[in-house]
Copies of this chain bind each other. A is one copy, B any other.
Amino acid sequence: MKETLRRRISDLRAGRESERDFLAFLQNFPFSNETHIKLDFHRKLRRGIPEVIFGQGKSAEQLQRIVKKFIEVGEDILITRIDRERFAALSKDFPGLRYHAAARIITSLRQPRIKNKGKILVLSAGASDEKVAEEAYVSSLYLGNRTDREYDVGVACLARILSLQKKLNRYTVIIAVAGMEGALPSVVAGLTSTPIIAVPTSVGYGANFGGLSALLSMLNSCAGGISVVNIDNGFGAAYQATLINQKGSR
């Protein structure tokens, strides 16, 4: 898509395109203006990150229309919150898709291109937080970051996280995923100078109240260097980590 833009800019400079035509083109450029769903292909220009599709709550037909459009304009595909059934339906029409089951994500088949310099580490507290941690891991990878992962390193057995202490400072961002009491980010923050994006998960029961417990823990952490995204929002953490990594990469 950037190609089209570049071509028209050089046309403009070369006098092959009038200023007025170019302006009109730009006005139609920011988003694909379908009646009910407007895709923001302009975002890649503005933010360095392509439009990503939030799969939850979208019907099979909605997804089909969107994927078709993405393929037409040559965009990379990244669909989050998608179950195996809807993947199966999509992959019939679009064979070039890959399903990351643990992460519940669909991407294009091709390997992600690493664009940013630093590295990102995804930590998870318990085995049940894996879904959210994988959403963060796969997203981070496909948004162009070297990404590592260490799961099941919760605070009930400190030896696990302490054994990682030395390497924590090597990362540009740490994504720390935890449910229940959500103490992992607080403990990790005390061990490193790497900024931490904390992801509370809805893992737990009873007075967990759907992740509220972990969310409040993380917001109230006594250790500095933690900022928080929405409950279960592994993708959002990867997105934020990518923006930070981009900044450090320039």
Q: Which residues of A contact B (CB under 8 A)?
A: 27, 30-31, 35-38, 40, 42-43, 46-49, 52, 54, 56-58, 62, 118, 125-128, 130, 151-160, 162-163, 172-173, 180-183, 186-187, 189-195, 197, 200, 202-233, 235-237, 239-240, 243-244, 246-248
Contact = CB atoms under 8 A, between A and B. Distances in A.
A127 B37 contact: yes
Contacts of A216: 181, 207-209, 212-213, 216-217
- Number of this chain's copies in the assembly equals 8
Given A186-B181, A206-B230, A230-B205, A222 B156 contact: yes
B246 A247 contact: no
A38 to B, nearest CB: 4
B30 A181 contact: no
A46 B192 contact: yes
A153 B31 CA distance: 10
B58 A222 contact: no
Nearest to A62: B127
A9 B241 CA distance: 36
23 contacts: A31-B157, A37-B151, A37-B152, A56-B205, A155-B186, A155-B222, A156-B189, A156-B190, A158-B187, A180-B221, A181-B182, A181-B183, A183-B186, A183-B221, A194-B243, A206-B230, A207-B216, A208-B230, A215-B219, A219-B228, A220-B230, A226-B240, A227-B236
Nearest to A203: B57
A204 B57 CA distance: 9
Contacts of A246: 193
A180 B58 contact: no
B206 A213 contact: no
Contact of A225 (B187, B193, B209, B240): B240
B223 A156 contact: yes
Contacts of A30: 157, 159-160, 163
Contacts of A210: 206, 209
A194 to B, nearest CB: 7
